[in-house]
Every structure is written in structure tokens, then in C-alpha cells.
Structure 1
Amino acid sequence: MHRILAEITRRGPTVLASGCAIGLAIPYLADLARPLLPVMVFIFVLGTLLRINNAEVIKAAKNLKISLIFPALMVVACPYVFGMAALYLSGNQELSLAIAIAVAAPPASGNAAVARMLGLDPSMSLVTALCSMAIIPITAPLILHLFADGLSLSIDPADLAIRLAILIGGAEGVAILIRRFSHGFVAHHGLAIDGVVVMALFLFAIGTMAGMQQIILNEPSLALSMIALAYGVNFAMQLLLGSLYPGTLIAKFTMGLNGGNRNVGLLWSALGVSLSPTMALYFACCQLPIHTMPKILQFALPRIASFMKKPAVTPS
């Protein structure tokens, strides 16, 4: 079993992408996995916390770019800029609101685990995500207020804060207990823990595809345009935040990953069932790049790193 989990970890990005493919191809499995999503989130947050180096987390937290400046850019500045751009270009208030809310969501809870798979900086990813989550109960209602004029939508800041506290606080509490009483187990079975995290992300990816096949079959043109838009926004966010971050190539890609892959489901659930079909469709389509971008990055990262190391060609 340990060897199997280690192999799953090694092929993590491929496993995540296959989860989306399975969920799309077999709706029955997606429907079965859907109720498990909260449990899967808890598992991969817990696994990430178990595998994080505390000294590296503290070091990252002391860096204001990681703990304050870029979280603020992600959940305040970017939602406003992307939402206004969408409103100007499309004239569609519901679509611009959907994009603004999706970009206002904190980095996805599984980003730190994905960063570890890709050889990026999981501590940096975790600190950016946690600090973004800390201000979301204030920033998300503000973004909603700016873009939802005339629409009967609201986010309860207290309810959102409680949900996040239960998720992060609960996972951190369990992680502390496991580290205290089973430190040797964690130290010797790190790859197995990573494998469990990847399997949790795999099941999560399957569950997020619930209903997607039917949407694509019923309205293929609309669905494909929304999928393309979701990939475009994800890529633009990765490129923007990665380019802005003043650090190494690994640090830039780590920040870019956090900028593109957001926990859209968190704000989706906070808004309840009063969403328009346009908003619900866009939120659903956002799940595809979240789970397939790691595979794309796994392919692109070594090639970009190799290109960056090439010496400039000087004329003879």
C-alpha cells in the first residue's frame, strides 16, 4: 500500500486531471462523490498541515509580500479589476459578478499539496492561502456589494468566518494531536500521507464535475465558451500574480498557482441557491482549470526553467 500511495503521489497532477475526466465521463460517480466534498477538503488540508515544515511557514509568514500584500491583491484589487473589465467588455452584470466573486475567493485549500507535487513552495502557498482566508469575511461581502447592485444576493460575514474557523481550526487541531502523539509515524510515512492527500483531491475533482456533462450536452456552445473563459481568467491570474511577485522562478510560479486556483466553491456555497444560471455555470466551469492546471504546469515548468537558464545569444 505504501508503494502504491508513493506512486500516486509521483503522478499527482495526472491523477487530478483524470478525476475531472472521470467525473465528466461518468456522471453517476460524480454524483456519488459530491456529498464527500467537505470531508475531502478536511483531509487534504489536514494532510498539508502534517507535511508542512513549521520553520518554513514562520519564515514565509514574516514576509509581508506573502502574508499581507499579495493576499490583499488577490482578494481585493484583482476581483475589482477583473470584474470591471468583464462588465466593460460584456455588459453582462451577472457574468461580471460571477468573475469578480470567483476571483475574490481565497486560494484553493489544496494548492499547498499541489505545490509540493510540482516542486514549488508549499509553505509559501499555505501562508498566502491562510492569510487570504483571514480577510475573506470582510472582502467578499464588499466585492459582492460593488457588483451585485439590484441583485438579491448576500454573503453573511459571520457565517463565512465560522465555516473557515471550523475548517482550518479543526484541521490544525487534529494535525497538532497527530504530530504530538505520532510524530515518528508522520516522519516515516510522508509519501503515504501525500498519497492520501492526492486521493482526496482526486475524489474532490470527481465530485466537482457533478452536473457538468448534462450542462455541456444541453448547451454545448454556452458551456464551452464558459469553460474557455474560466481557463482564460485562471491563466491570466497566474500570469499576472506570478509576474508581479519579486522572487525566484519557483516563488513566482507558487504565487501564480495561488492566484489562479481559487476556492470558488467556498463563496459559491456562501451565496446559497439564489444564484442565476449564468453565475452557477461559470462557477462550475471554474473547477476544470483548478484540477487540470497542475498537469499543464507539470509539463510547462521544466521547459520554462530550462529556457530561462539559457544564455543570451550575442552577435559574433
Structure 2
Amino acid sequence: MPRGPTLLIIGVLAGLAFPALADSVRPLMAAAIFVLVLGTFLQVDGAAFRRALGRPLVSLLLPALAMLACPLAVGFAARGAGFRPELIVALVLSVCAPPSTGTAAVARMLGFDATVPLAVTLLSMALAPITVPLIAAGFADLALDPLALAARLALLVVGAGALALLLRRQAAAQLARHSRTIDALVVASLLLFAIATMAGVRAQVAAQPATALALAGLAFACNLALQALGAVLTLGPLAERLTTGLILSNRNVGLVWSAMGAAVSPMTALFFAATQFPIYMMPRLIELLVRRERKEKASS
């Protein structure tokens, strides 16, 4: 059976190849995100999570880097490169979103420590109602409702966190016995979400194939640049550097997308969809890099 990272690629390609499948699972996207966050809360060690929150790198630097430095840097770089205003808006809005709720699950899937991405994601979500509207107004002249953003995030995080806390207190032994089942549910949720993100994309690609290809290339370039930035700025083992790269590069664009509503232009919508390809395809490349490093260490 294919491993987790390979399943993500299968999911996103299946959603693109079978539009009816993507459309049918789209209504389940919110439930899939909830299960992702819940499963990650259940799998992460509580003491390790609290220790991670006590580190300035995790509690201050990485959230500020993700929510302020990265979107501003991408925006000014795109302006300097002479990109069209509409494309600059799409780039900035995609990067000002908080890290993806699935990042911690992907990190765990790759054998990395999931506590840091979970902590940074939660702290970034707390910042999002402040930073996202400000950056959207500055670069795109858009007015996003901070209270609506906060409500969406609170419903997701507080709901999943409260349920996880209840389950940990009332059924800790059962959770330990069924850890593999929880892992499988998280992977299934990621797969479902990957398929759902492709709803409507096939028609957009068919209508504008050249534009879609260019935007996909730009999405991969932006994702790789942010992954490289995270790896360069992080000291320590390869796993920690790659984890930071995942945090900075994989963004919850669906949150900004839903907050914008009818204000989303066709170009921005197509770019938002294109950002899903590197999010679900790059973990396979990261897995290969990690395997190679482990083999080199084992042979030395």
C-alpha cells in the first residue's frame, strides 16, 4: 500500500482527474480539517507541546516570520520583479494565510516532531485576525472582517482542542491502544482534503491551460523558496530545518479564500488552487531527502 506522502499525491491527482469525485467530497472539507486538528492534538505529547511553547523560537520568532515577514517579503519581491498587480495580490494573500492545519500531521507522517508545527500553527492562527486583514488592506485594498476570521479559527481550534482534552482524560488507555487507527484517520482526512481542494480546478485548467500552467509553476517556486528560507534560517538537524520549511511554505489559503467571498478574482482563485499542488506533492520529495540522509548516516 502507498505510504502517506504518496497517498497525498494520489489524492490531489485523483481530484484533478475525476472532477465529480472532487465535487462530491467538497462538502466534507470542514469535517476533514476538524479531524486533522483533533488527530494531531491526540497524537502530540502534552509535556513536549508545553515545552515547545516555552521556546522563543516557537512562541515568537516563527509565528512572526510566518505571519509578517514572509508575506511582506513575497509582496515586495513580486513588486520588484514587475509582476502584474493581480498576481501580486494572489501571491501575498496566499502567503499571509496561517500555516496549514495539516502541517503537523504531515510532519508526523514524515517522522518529524509534530509539536513545533502544531504550536506555531496555533499561535499563527491567533495572529491571523490581526495580520491577515492588515496585509490584505495594504497590498490588495481589501477589507476582511477580523471577527469573522477569529470566529472560524476559534470554532476549529477550541472545538478540536476541547474534544481532544476530554478524550485524553476519559479514554487515555484506549487512545494508546488505538494509536494506529488515529494515524490512519489523520491520513484519510488528509487524502480527503487533498481530493476536495481540486473541486472546480479541472474546469479552470481547461478554460485557461497556459495561465494554469504558469500559476502552478509560480506556486511551486514560491513554496520551494519558503521551504529553502526555513531550512536556511533554522539551525540543527535536517529534520528540524525541513519542519520549519513546511511551516513557512504550506498555508491555509482556504481560510483567506472563504473570508474574501465574492471578492476573489478568477486569477486569485486559480492561483489559490495551484498552491495545493506543492503542498501535497512536496512531502514525497522531502521523504526521499530524509531517507537518503538516514542511509548515509547508517553507512558511515
TM-score bucket (shorter structure): over 0.9
Instruction: Supply the AA of the counterpart residue of 2:120.
Output: T
Instruction: Give, in angstroms, the shift of residue 308 of structure 1.
Output: 8.2
CA–CA separation in structure 1 for the residues paired with 2:56 and 2:132: 21
SS of structure 2 residue aligned to 1:90: coil
Size of the alignment, in residue pairs?
A: 300
Secondary structure in structure 1 of the residue aligned to 2:277 = helix
Alignment match, 2:69:
77
Contact 2:227–2:246 (Cα < 8 Å) also in 1: yes
| Counterpart for residue 221 of structure 2 | 232
1:212 to 201, 213, 225: 201
Which blocks of at least 5 consecutive residues in structure 1 are unaligned? 1-6, 312-316
* Partner of residue 102, structure 1: 94
- Please list the CA deviations of residues 159-186 of structure 1 after superposition, one character each: whole Å capped at 9, or x if unmatched: 1111111100000111111111111111
TM (norm. structure 1) is 0.91
Q: CA RMSD in A?
A: 1.6
Match for residue 131 of structure 2 among 115, 139, 142 = 139
Q: Distance in 2 between matches of 1:157 and 1:242?
A: 31
Aligned to 2:262: 273
Q: 1:285, 1:13 → 2: CA distance?
A: 18
Q: 2:74 matched to 1:61?
A: no
SS at 1:272's partner residue?
helix
Q: Partners in 2 of 1:154 and 1:268 — Cα distance?
A: 13
Offset from partner CA, 1:109-161 (integer Å, 9 cap, x none): 01111111101110011011111111111111111121014xxx321111111
Name the TM-score, length of structure 2 as normaliser: 0.96
Matches within 5 A, 1:161-310: 161-304=150-293
Query: What is the distance in 1 between the residues matched to 2:134 and 2:296?
Result: 42
In the alignment, does 2:25 pair up with 1:13?
no
- Judged with a 3 Å threshold, the aligned counterparts in structure 2 of structure 1 residues 223 and 263 are, in CA distance, closer, same or farther, namely same
3-state DSSP of counterpart to 1:209 = coil
Aligned-partner Cα distance in 2 for 1:121–1:206: 26
Structure 1 position 249, deviation (Å): 1.8
- Equivalent position amino acid for 2:200 in 1: G
Q: What is the distance in 2 between the residues matched to 1:253 and 1:212?
A: 29
Shift, 1:35, TM fit: 1.0
Aligned residues: percent identity?
Answer: 44
**Judging changes above 3 Å, is the alpha-carbon distance between structure 1 residues 308 and 222 closer, same or farther for their aligned structure 2 residues?**
farther
The answer to whether the 8 A contact 1:249-1:305 is kept is: no
Q: Distance in 2 between matches of 1:126 and 1:260?
A: 14
After TM superposition, give the deviation of residue 18 of structure 1 in Å: 0.5
Of 82-91 and 194-203, more deviation after overlay is shown by 82-91
Going from structure 1 to structure 2, the CA distance change for 1:304 and 1:84 (only over 3 Å counts) comes to: farther
